[in-house]
Structure 1
Amino acid sequence: MTGDQPGRPMRVVFVTYAEKTHFLGMVPLAWALRNAGHEVRVASQPELSDVITGAGLTAVPVGKDHMLHRLLTHAESLDPDGPAPFDMAENRPEMLTWEYLRRGYHDELVPWWWRVANDPMIVELTDFCRHWKPDLVIWEPASYAGAIAAKASGAAHARMLWSLDLFARMRGHYLTARQRHAPHEPDAMAQWLTARAAKVGTTFSEDLTSGHFTIDYTPTSLRLDLPHTYLPLRYIPYNGTAVIPPWLHTPPTKPRICLTLGTSATERLDGYSVPVQDILTHLADLDIEIIATLPEKQQAELHHVPANTRLVSFVPLHALAPTCSAVIDHGGPGTVFTMASHGVPQLVLPKLFDEPVLGDHLTGLGAGLVVRGGEATGARVREDLLRLLGDPSYTHAAARLREEMHTMPTPNDLVPELERLTAHHRGGTGTG
């Protein structure tokens, strides 16, 4: 353990802007730290407080709720035919021009994502950390307010990834291109963080973008090839409070297929990007059982529910996954890692950000298939689902991925290493 007094439990603050899916992956590690005797707080904007307390953790509301999704929706409605949004997952050399990278950082990432999500909570979060004096701050990779507050209060701090490290990869692309093409032009991210850090009496250093170290539950075989050191952590599924329905008490009598397209698509974005009705219709004659997790509004929009389909508004994926022969999903990291941890082959129908990359990596391992954009018709989904069910190599590859994930340290295993790293970094600014 670390702290001002020998044997005193650490004080740990988890930080995320108010985005439920970013928080949920933090919960098992927060529980492990509490079970080890450490004091844990979760700081976020007020909107997330009920989700935090629902996980049995102590919430610290700071600042005001962000307007990120409302602003983005409004901007899209004003110029629906404007240039395509900057793609954080872009990795093709021919696309990574200085003009493209500059536009992404200067015009989109900093002003439209990071500032909108973080600015409303930086001052109050820093005030709380200075008062409570945490030893360690753990922040999700877009919540730079956590890094600023940690540095201002002398705490060690770590990023905790919820998916592939697209943040570090894109920053590397940006810094390399800037150095080559415009070394005298301001670094947009550093400029923003410098100004916000100065407001609370501290200074910018690169660890504000990367943490002193990074916690990552992505298995090595799915991880991006980056020159960074990651602290591996086994993914433990947590989807919030849940009840097991009676139909899940007994094993299925035929191959069970889960169709799940994530919660963010309907709660935060403009709906699903794939034709759900067309998919269900094209699977209707197969001798399978489909569990389709759709909110009630989306259920009501279906004009026909096949006999082999059960509609549910929610089911805990960690309970459903062990009973599934395959899953049709959107490629969101929570779903991908939950299903992978149970060895389920995946048919990924991605839309944006990390989803296409995760789908490609699963395909590369032989543990799944990916169908992009307008290609995700009912006929194509049927064809690829039959491939997953008919070729045992997909199930074998998914089982190998499951075993790899199960060799990673559990949250309980990681606690002593977090204690050691906190003692090493507390009060400093170096990276590790």
Structure 2
Amino acid sequence: MRILFTTISEHSHILAQTPMAWALATAGHDVRLASAPAMTDVITSAGLTAVPVGTDHNMHEMLAQLSQQGAGSIENELSDWSEPSVDKQTWQGILFKYQVTVPMALAPYNDPIVEELVEFAKSWRPDLIVWDPLTYAGAVAATVIGVPHARLLWTVDIYAAMREAFLELRDQQAPAMRQDPLADWLGNQLAAHGKEFTEEVVTGHFTLDPIPDSIQLPPTGNRVPLRYTPYNGRSVVPRWAWEENDRPRVVVTSGSSFEAALGATFLPFSDVLAGLADLDVDVVTTLSEAEKDKLGTLPDNVRAVGFVPMQVLLPTCSAVVHHGGFGTWSTAALAGVPQLVTTIRHGDLWLRAQRTEEIGAGLRLHGPSVTPESARAAVVRLLEEPGFQAGAAKLREEVLAMPTTASAVADVERLTNEHRAVLV
């Protein structure tokens, strides 16, 4: 089959798609990955065939400006999707989320690439389009050419769950009040090509899901479980990372993707490192040069490094402190490492941290409220209370029981053929 992957122009989203793309390629399928031109080098560095489409977005500049105003400008009721259920939402509140999210986030990400993506799909005629859960352009292109399409998640599935809540609350309103910003936006994209909107444009014909059941929301539609496979791009293992270590190692990292996208992080390095300074542990922290300069002199037990692949580092650690991003969280889960997630109510970050705490695999703190004392107390608990090691080990077992990307290929082939037969 010809299989087209597509994602918005974000580095970490390319990395999340790469293992499944390679699994399908090594199974004999013709795979290409389409994104905005800025992602071409990221895609080709992964050994995949890139299809540059459209133009690059300006979301980073806009988000960086917001982050400079403080976390409160990014952490608000509109960006908080941590409670995607009817009993936690009101019609006015959920409608406002979509009234803002569609023009301020989804459209700026998708509109610059959708037309050329459709043109390429018409030319190449893929049998399946696999799209990132924010890349509705992929669903539009698949609908225009009449082929199956699937979402590949990197998130607790807040987008499908919030959509279900929205539809239920919408249908309770008088007909004249049943506004639907998402359907209107996608419907206009499709109408330009003589097609109509359906809910499958939002949810896909099936979903590839690397989030374990203990963390994930109840599934919507056809779900293919998928074990997370770490991929961080070109990586080198430094000697110190594999040498024997006499003391427990604690990693403190905010992830590269959030800093690149937002121009800031929600992990207060100075407070966390100060809180760990008197512990008998070796602290490894991933810091950019700008962050190093900002922090100045570091505690004696801290090793500041640049980029180190988490799948190399975390298996050598006793605990990890991070911002809650998908890649770091998933790698820690795979390694069986207790996690302290210092994050905010933005997207699925708080929900994933909450569920991690509920299953005993870690703790969560509100990033902007972290103090040296609260960080120290949380890390001490992770290191000294055996329940967290047991919880993290149980989460690791759950992840390892999920099908590998190679094993999932057969399900992708089967579901594609089933839906293609219906669409023909």
* TM-score bracket relative to the smaller structure: over 0.9
Residues in 2 aligned to 1:141 and 1:392: alpha-carbon distance in whole angstroms: 36
Residue 332 of structure 1 pairs with residue 325 of structure 2:
yes
Give the superposition deviation at 1:47. 0.8
Residues in 2 aligned to 1:148 and 1:188: alpha-carbon distance in whole angstroms: 16
Deviates more, 1:50-59 or 1:369-378: 369-378
Residues in 1 aligned to 2:288 and 2:422: alpha-carbon distance in whole angstroms: 47
Give the superposition deviation at 1:73. 4.5
Q: What are the residue-to-residue correspondences of 1:236-385 with 2, within 5 Å?
A: 236-351=229-344, 352-385=346-379
Whether the 8 Å contact between 2:268 and 2:368 is mirrored in structure 1 is no
Match of 2:416 in 1: 422
Query: What amino acid is the match of 1:144?
Result: Y
Residues in 2 aligned to 1:132 and 1:165: alpha-carbon distance in whole angstroms: 30
Deviates more, 1:198-207 or 1:64-73: 64-73
Residue 99 of structure 1 pairs with residue 92 of structure 2:
yes
Deviates more, 1:234-243 or 1:263-272: 263-272
Residues in 2 aligned to 1:152 and 1:299: alpha-carbon distance in whole angstroms: 49
In the superposition, relative to structure 1, how do residues 302 and 71 fare at CA in structure 2: closer, same or farther (>3 Å)? closer
Query: What amino acid is the match of 1:345?
Result: P
1:18 to 5, 9, 29: 9
Whether the 8 Å contact between 1:156 and 1:427 is mirrored in structure 2 is no
Query: What amino acid is the match of 1:398?
Result: A
In the superposition, relative to structure 1, how do residues 305 and 161 fare at CA in structure 2: closer, same or farther (>3 Å)? same
Give the superposition deviation at 1:68. 2.1
After superposition, give the CA deviation of every residue in 1:202-258 in whole Å (9 maximum; x if it has no partner).
221111000000110001111113454421000011111100011113132210001
Q: What are the residue-to-residue correspondences of 1:59-70 with 2, within 5 Å?
A: 59-70=50-61
CA-atom RMSD in angstroms: 2.1
Instruction: Give secondary structure in 2 for the equivalent of 1:13.
Output: strand
Whether the 8 Å contact between 1:244 and 1:315 is mirrored in structure 2 is yes
Residue 47 of structure 1 pairs with residue 41 of structure 2:
no
Residue 235 of structure 1 pairs with residue 217 of structure 2:
no
Residues in 1 aligned to 2:132 and 2:321: alpha-carbon distance in whole angstroms: 27
1:403 to 389, 397, 408: 397
Q: What are the residue-to-residue correspondences of 1:164-243 with 2, within 5 Å?
A: 164-184=156-176, 185-243=178-236
Residues in 1 aligned to 2:156 and 2:38: alpha-carbon distance in whole angstroms: 26
Instruction: Give secondary structure in 2 for the equivalent of 1:341.
Output: helix
Residue 130 of structure 1 pairs with residue 139 of structure 2:
no
Residue 36 of structure 1 pairs with residue 12 of structure 2:
no
Whether the 8 Å contact between 2:255 and 2:328 is mirrored in structure 1 is yes
In the superposition, relative to structure 1, how do residues 285 and 75 fare at CA in structure 2: closer, same or farther (>3 Å)? closer
Q: How many residues of Structure 1 are paired with residues of Structure 2 in the alignment?
A: 420
Query: What amino acid is the match of 2:330?
Result: F
Whether the 8 Å contact between 1:259 and 1:292 is mirrored in structure 2 is yes
Give the superposition deviation at 1:92. 7.0
Residues in 1 aligned to 2:49 and 2:263: alpha-carbon distance in whole angstroms: 32
TM-score, normalised to structure 1, is 0.93
Residues in 2 aligned to 1:252 and 1:322: alpha-carbon distance in whole angstroms: 12
After superposition, give the CA deviation of every residue in 1:360-382 in whole Å (9 maximum; x if it has no partner).
11111111011114431111010
Whether the 8 Å contact between 1:151 and 1:202 is mirrored in structure 2 is yes
Deviates more, 1:181-190 or 1:92-101: 92-101
Instruction: Give secondary structure in 2 for the equivalent of 1:220.
Output: coil
Query: What amino acid is the match of 1:143?
Result: T
Higher helix share: 2
In the superposition, relative to structure 1, how do residues 195 and 75 fare at CA in structure 2: closer, same or farther (>3 Å)? farther
Give the superposition deviation at 1:420. 1.0
Residues in 2 aligned to 1:82 and 1:403: alpha-carbon distance in whole angstroms: 35
2:388 to 388, 394, 401: 394
Query: What amino acid is the match of 1:38?
Result: H
